[in-house]
Amino acid sequence: MLKALLKAESLIALGLMGLSVYFMWHAIERPIGWDGARGPGGGAFPFWLSLIMLGASTAILIRAVRTELRVPDLKPFFEPGMIGPVAAVTLALTITIALMSWLGTYVAIPLFMLWYLRVFGRNSWKVTIPLVLGTPVVLFFFFEVALLILLPKGITEPLFFPLYAMFF
């Protein structure tokens, strides 16, 4: 049983379960139910999405443990050649997250996408440019205009003042 819990799939499921509980714990600091005529409370989406993530992670853990107990898998989780690419993407994501508070979400995410699509993924410019330019626009309208959730803008915040004047 312990060996089944120490497999990569089980460890990732346990980690996601822990994150889910952490997110739910922070979400209940705000109302998670229906708030009269205003709609769902500020913690509703994070709480319920985290609950769904907890359920999915639990199902993954149960399946992984059952499978390992029935048919032990002796293959390594990562093939030796995959450790480098996984480490590169992990490092790039860490840098992206670190840049979000300084450069802002709308610069950090397109920079990551540019690196990931063009350099790492070797996609053509025809694929890369529309995605890199379109993603921040979609993010802005979805989070800031539709959901009224402000994302970190860092040093680029003054560039958003005219957009705020148009939409709010």
In angstroms, the CA 68 to CA 133 distance is 44
Residue found under tokens 């694929």: 127
Q: What is the pLDDT along the chain (168 residues), one digit of tens a residue?
A: 666 666 888 889 999 999 999 999 999 888 888 877 777 877 888 999 999 999 999 999 999 888 887 877 667 667 788 889 999 999 999 999 999 999 999 999 999 999 999 999 999 999 999 999 999 999 999 988 888 888 999 999 999 999 888 887
Domain boundaries, the chain: 2-70, 81-167
Where on the phi/psi map is residue 40: left (φ > 0), alpha (ψ -120 to 50), or beta?
A: beta
Where on the phi/psi map is residue 93: left (φ > 0), alpha (ψ -120 to 50), or beta?
A: alpha
Prediction pTM value: 0.65
Is the separation of the CB atoms in 114 and 99 below 8 Å?
Answer: no
